[in-house]
Amino acid sequence: MGVKTQEFLVLGGQTLTELRDKIFCLTDQMMQKAGQHDPSGYFLIEDVFCNDLRNPAAIDYSEPIFDWLRNNKDEARKKWECIITGELQQKQKAIIGDVASQLPHFKAVDMQKTRFCDLKFSLGAGYQYCHQGDCKHTIVIRDMRLVHPEDVQNRAAYPIAVFQLKPRVQKCYVCKIYRATKVTVDDKWAQGNPCYFCDNCYYLLHYKDGSLVYSDFSVYDYLHD
Ligand SMILES: [Zn+2]
Ligand SMILES: [Zn+2]
């Protein structure tokens, strides 16, 4: 199980895209930097794929999944049975019979048209958020309640971030003083793999008279973990 990175307060009348736009993931930033940002994404809540199709370039990620389900009915049912009977015990299965072997009826809706109050969900269950191809996160709806007088009354302020994991920032492995700005992988002269450098130490170690001393390693810009 992962660690909680963010928590939000959302209003029942808000759309899932309003929440999506507040979710921070480093993959989004990296893809943006690399010029390969993909606006597609979905939430899978119970048996409903909520696809973000606001951007005309967005892809319906659920389509290949539906194709697979259509073309591999038996395999899909077997996998589903495995998931269900992994949770229940084999002997329980013997008692209740084959109730679990019925695949859920997955369907797809537009994320931008789906409000939280339109959803069927269980509190505390782990649902999926997928974006940038296959960057996946677990989403949990922890609690549901009425608005209190102490809550922020301005609707426009929601979704409100009530928790944000502090990003861990590496220091330069060489000087141990400055924040790292570069990270190298498979760098033969470095002290670690991966190894973190500030700009200064990176250039001191890797460059001589303005040219790279060796190049059989990978280097990336580093922001935070
Ligand atoms: Zn992500
Ligand atoms: Zn340094």
* pLDDT per residue as tens digits for the range 75-92: 988 888 887 777 666 666
The CA 150 to ligand 1 mean position distance, Å, reads 32
Q: pLDDT tens for residues 44-68?
A: 999 999 999 999 999 999 999 999 9
For residue 26, the model assigns a pLDDT of 81
Q: Beta-carbon neighbour count of residue 65 at 10 Å?
A: 16
Centre of ligand 2 to C-alpha 182, Å, is: 10
Which residues partner with 39 through β-bridges?
none
Say if residues 179 and 196 touch (Cβ distance below 8 Å). no
Residue boundaries of the structural domains of the chain: 6-164, 167-225
Read off the pLDDT band of 101 (50, 70, 90): low
The rounded Å distance from CA 193 to ligand 2 centre is 16
Contacts of 12 (CB under 8 A, 6+ apart): 115, 116, 117
* Alpha-carbon dihedral angle through residues 65, 67, 71, 77, given to the nearest 10 degrees: 30
First to last CA, the chain: 18
Q: Is the confidence at residue 1, as pLDDT, over 60? A: no
176 alpha carbon – ligand 2 mean position (Å): 6
Task: Kindly tell me the burial class for residue 111, based on how many C-beta atoms sit within 10 Å of its own C-beta (0-12, 13-18, 19 or more).
Answer: buried
Q: Which residues have C-beta under 5 Å from ligand 2, the single-atom ion? A: 172, 174-175, 178, 198, 201
Q: How far is the CA of 131 from the centre of ligand 1 (A)?
A: 6
Q: What is the pLDDT of residues 124-181, one digit of tens each?
A: 999 999 999 999 999 999 999 999 999 999 999 999 999 988 877 889 999 999 999 9
Instruction: Find all residues with CB under 8 Å of 139, minimum gap 6, and list them.
Output: 43, 45, 126, 127, 128, 129
